[in-house]
Structure 1
Amino acid sequence: MALESCSQCHSTVFKPRVNVTSDVYEHLRSTNTLPENILPNTSALLLSIEKDLDDYESEIHALQIRIADIEKRRTRLRTHAENLQSLLSPIRRLPNELLMRVFGYACIENELTYGCGSALTLGSVCLRWRQLTIECPELWSNMNICIVAEDEFDEVGDVRLAARVNLYLGRSKSHPLRFTLISIPWRPDSDDGSDNPIFKQIARQSFRWKHVSFRGASFVPDNYPTWDSLDLPILDTLNLSSYGADSCSLEMLKKTPMLRAFHAPGMDCLWHQGSGFPLPSARTTLRDLEYNLIADNFYEILDNCSNLHRLSLIAREKYNYSGLPFCWSYTHSLYHSEH
């Protein structure tokens, strides 16, 4: 390969063996055969052209390598500029206390069923954020979880969900828990979801439950025996809704001395009449009640909830509220809704 210096960039490039001319077009337009003395030269030119093509390929390959290297350097420089620019970002100048308030709003609901949750996402941004999130149990104490039936339990997806729940329970340490749980019966022949391994994880931490929302098939202790063993010393708010039954048992709340808000729209709350009213906080701490207006024991429930500040009445049909034969001087707010 013959080399020569480029007159513009002074880099070394190869010198081609063949000069492309227009003579070949004259022979192509001619109907005469090539003279005998030109044939050997044409064959030699073709051999030289093959060598030149190989040299061009080598030159192109070398230039492509050089271009790729230059593009890589450009990308690295742009990344470096972005990193330098991020050092000037206003959020880096926020004090930890203010940044943690922002994190708190972002982690009000950590969706764990279909994602890793906001707390884990924030902790993956940088070392500073990771340290801040890990040092704040409150960020990990809020969870939204959906658990499935045994025949739908996925050894990959649900095992990962169980791992995420375990991670959040661990990093929340002893902080009170706020979570929403949608529960599907573990087995089709029973309303019992207590055998679900994910529910077992949460149930073992029942002493930390503070603000809890459940949506399940049943809340009767006979069908859901886990309720009977739960320890709920700090439970403040409980929301119950059902897609399979229209009643729940107040027996499940007999270990809730600090309950302040109980919402069971469209459901009838039952209990064993011979054992007395089972809700220990009804006359003292219970301030907020949402209940079914047309339930048979509606008035009996109210008689035992004498310290309400907010009452929400739920009716599944048209109801003449003005005809209610009572009033509550202790109730500060009264709401009604027709479902």
Structure 2
Amino acid sequence: MRESTLGASEPPPNVPIDSLQRSNHRPSPAQRVHLAAALTQKEASITNLEEDELDLQLKINHLMKEMRTISDIRSREQDEADSFRFLLAPIRLLAPELLAQIFKYALPAKPHPQRVSSPLGLAHVCSAWRKTIMGSSAFWNNLSIQVDIHAKSHRDPDIISFWYGHANSNAPLSLSLSTPTYMNYLPKSMYSSMVNFSYRITELRIYGDYDLHSQFLHLPGRTLPVLETLFLVGLLIGEDEDDYYYGSEHGRLFKSRGFKFDITPSEITVFDNFPRLRFVTLGLPSIAFRENSFFALSWSSITRLDIQGKITQGAFIRLTNLCPQLHAASFVVDTESSSHSTEVFNLATFVDLMSFRLQLCKPDNRFTAVDALPLMPLPKLLTLVLVDDEDHAFIFPLRAIFPGILDSLALVRCLQLSHISCSHDELLQLVMACPMLEDLRMHVLDKDLAYQLRCLRKTPPERDGHAPPLFAHLVSFTFAFTPDGRNSIEAVGAAFTELVYTWAMDPRRCRPLEYLSLYVWIEKYWFDKEEVAARQALERLQGEICDAVEQAQSSRPVVNVDVVSSLSELESLTGTFWCPF
């Protein structure tokens, strides 16, 4: 009788090893012998492989060491090659005098730097450059400083003395002083240090609050005898907040330091006798122009005047009579001011004025021809810019200067109308008076913009059919508008395309159209999806405008389309071909 066993049963003698692994059978004696021999063989193979792996690792370590050695040698060779390449660089062959000329274009060109406009940054490159910078007095003729109220102001005068000490003793100097933060001031010691070099300063720029300019405005006359360019910007923090301004902690602090608020023109002495003054930019509050007699300034010799602060109509009239030599002028006139001049002036003729920019601030909606600004004849006018107030809360009524302006447009090359209100007849009369117009920029408010554009296609009946058409010399046309229910982007775009196509088709044109721009003026309350839709519509129009004009003339114009939300943004996109401001 065969003895029974517990657990796994004996497998059949012919069961392979693979099947045995997938079952619970015990290996047979023959299989056990076979498995023991196979195990010995595998263990011997593993031992051999481990020895091979160790040999390979030793070889890898040796190769890595050789690789690092080669890499180090390569790095040294590369450094030496670079040094040889640098030694052979063409810039090393330039003479120090030529380097100095190149470095002039590497300096900051516009204010304001963080602290001082310094050429010393170039001096850190190498000893040769440092020697060039320190040895060239031309780098030290221009200085721009930001004065921080928290800075150690007693050191600032040393900057002026140190800087101009390196300057050419015979070259003119340029100085810019600014206060970057709210309620800053320029210390008296700064002006005292400036006076030591004032006899050589030909360009002076000062930025800061008007009331805190008192130390400068009270300097004696003839302090700057060779000054040619003056840029003085000092707006009040708020002319309607006098009580707060005077009673505030800052106000008491500055009054205790000798600053006088509400400086009247009669108290300003520094401008006395500037015989060489030609270019003037004044960003002063209206208080500086309220008296019947302005502060003493060589008004009659000024050739470019930019008034950036609001002035009254009376001040505008007085200024136009005080500056007969102007070549370029820009004014911001507050037509709502109750301050009117009681003086009677005969309007002067600006025989040399070529650029005129007029911005009306808060014009009265009831503006009539009786209230129109008196304009002098402008026989050489090339650029005329009419702009509304910067907030666009009101519009510029063309009748404020109409029809007197029509007699001064015969030579105008650039006409910009921004946020203008006028009738179709007034607009047509205005452009008809500009037969030499090359650059037209329009943002004229109208309930029917498509009809406004169609009006520009009309040829007045009194014009000879053989004479050059309107806009015969036009090269650039910019049109900006605010879309609404009646003036959709598609409708205005179609009218714009038809207009420029009609212009380009006229065989009597003297010049082809080169620059065409269509801008959508968006309001601040627009949603993102509305702006995206506007941009998509403009992109479709861009190709249509290009194709239409190219069919009518031999050359393809440059077409720009975009969405804008401010006048400054629009001007940055279009550029200013003729206007110097």
TM-score over 0.5 (shorter chain): yes
Deviations 1:149-197 (A, max 9, x none): 54xx7x9xx9xx99998975665476644354442456xxxx45125xx
Contact 1:248 1:268 in 2 (8 A): no
Contact 2:141 2:167 in 1 (8 A): yes
Q: Residue 82 of structure 1: SS of its match in structure 2?
A: helix
User: C-alpha separation between the residues in 1 aligned to 2:148 and 2:68?
Assistant: 51
Give yes or no for the alignment of 1:224 onto 2:213.
Answer: yes
Q: Residue 205 of structure 1: SS of its match in structure 2?
A: helix
Aligned with residue 329 of structure 2, among 312, 322, 329: 312
Give yes or no for the alignment of 1:260 onto 2:256.
Answer: no
1:132: Cα distance to partner?
Answer: 1.2
Contact 1:141 1:176 in 2 (8 A): yes
Aligned length in residues: 286
Partner residue, 2:490: none
User: C-alpha separation between the residues in 2 aligned to 1:116 and 1:28?
Assistant: 87
Partner residue, 1:327: 348
Partner residue, 1:6: none
How has the CA–CA distance of structure 1 residues 164 and 293 changed in structure 2, closer, same or farther, with 3 Å as cutoff? closer
Contact 1:253 1:278 in 2 (8 A): no
User: C-alpha separation between the residues in 1 aligned to 2:62 and 2:161?
Assistant: 54
Aligned with residue 206 of structure 2, among 202, 205, 214: 214
How has the CA–CA distance of structure 1 residues 61 and 118 changed in structure 2, closer, same or farther, with 3 Å as cutoff? farther
What TM-score do the two structures reach when normalised by structure 2? 0.38
Partner residue, 1:99: 99
Aligned with residue 174 of structure 2, among 150, 174, 178: 178
1:264: Cα distance to partner?
Answer: 1.5
How has the CA–CA distance of structure 1 residues 64 and 40 changed in structure 2, closer, same or farther, with 3 Å as cutoff? closer
User: C-alpha separation between the residues in 2 aligned to 1:111 and 1:60?
Assistant: 61
Amino-acid identity (%): 18
1:312: Cα distance to partner?
Answer: 0.6
How has the CA–CA distance of structure 1 residues 144 and 73 changed in structure 2, closer, same or farther, with 3 Å as cutoff? farther
Contact 1:265 1:314 in 2 (8 A): no
User: C-alpha separation between the residues in 2 aligned to 1:102 and 1:130?
Assistant: 14
Contact 2:219 2:270 in 1 (8 A): no
Q: Which amino acid aligns with 2:174?
A: R
Q: CA RMSD in A?
A: 5.1
Deviations 1:70-107 (A, max 9, x none): 22332332333333333443333333333322222333
What TM-score do the two structures reach when normalised by structure 1? 0.59
1:12-51 counterparts in 2 under 5 A?
34-35=36-37, 38=40, 45=47, 49=50
1:235-254 counterparts in 2 under 5 A?
235-242=227-234, 244=237, 251=268, 253-254=270-271
Where do 5+ consecutive residues of structure 2 fail to align? 1-16, 22-33, 240-261, 336-344, 360-581
Q: Which amino acid aligns with 1:297?
A: A
Q: Residue 230 of structure 2: SS of its match in structure 1?
A: strand
Partner residue, 2:74: 74
Give yes or no for the alignment of 1:279 onto 2:296.
Answer: yes
1:336: Cα distance to partner?
Answer: 1.6
Contact 1:266 1:315 in 2 (8 A): no
User: C-alpha separation between the residues in 1 aligned to 2:291 and 2:142?
Assistant: 36
Q: Which amino acid aligns with 2:97?
A: E
How has the CA–CA distance of structure 1 residues 111 and 272 changed in structure 2, closer, same or farther, with 3 Å as cutoff? closer
Q: Residue 194 of structure 1: SS of its match in structure 2?
A: coil
